[in-house]
Structure 1
């Protein structure tokens, strides 16, 4: 049996005030084969003194969103196990 879970990452760039640099935000959504969804976010802000390389901000914001997503998935799994075991469960990453 094979199950497919999909992760979609949407990236948003915004030019802030010149002194603050560029803000990149990533929104990650995990959809399981059963239709469950988890959402997470990540941000990256470019120092205005750094050269404008959008891909770096996108990579960092995506990495942070995926890390947040992984933490949320671990928490959901802990909650699911706790419901069966009838006591709190903590899973290490």
Structure 2
């Protein structure tokens, strides 16, 4: 049995403006497609400014969006084969 190590790199970028943080996640897949996902968060005015926390929440939301897109892509590819339908968990 042959084992192949495959890796994907996900890029995360952040934009912060006042109490709003936006994250963009980008992954380039081996088939050449790129998936881009977004996540946003807003700090409550009563909360102290903690940029790291805003980045973590926005990143988590972007990664959730990316996961949803990857699952959708995988289910489309399974369904194209037509043998057994897939059951997306979205």
- For Structure 1 versus Structure 2, the TM-score category normalised by the shorter chain is 0.7 to 0.9
Aligned partner of 2:8 in structure 1 is: 5
Note if 1:81 corresponds to 2:84: no
Where do 5+ consecutive residues of structure 2 fail to align?
Answer: none
Please list the CA deviations of residues 3-62 of structure 1 after superposition, one character each: whole Å capped at 9, or x if unmatched: 2211000000011xxxxxx00000001112332211100001000110001100000000
Give the counterpart of 1:68 among 51, 59, 65. 65
TM-score, L = length of structure 1:
0.84
Number of residues of Structure 1 aligned to a counterpart in Structure 2: 87
- Distance in 1 separating the partners of 2:36 and 2:72: 13
Q: Give the root-mean-square deviation of aligned CA atoms.
A: 1.7
Distance in structure 1 (CA, Å) of the matches to 2:39 and 2:69: 13
- The whole-number CA distance in structure 2 between the counterparts of 1:40 and 1:51 is 27
Shift, 1:89, TM fit = 2.7
Scaled by the length of structure 2, the TM-score of the pair is: 0.86
> Which residue in the other structure is 2:22 paired with?
25
Does structure 2 retain, via aligned residues, the 8 Å contact 1:4–1:32? no
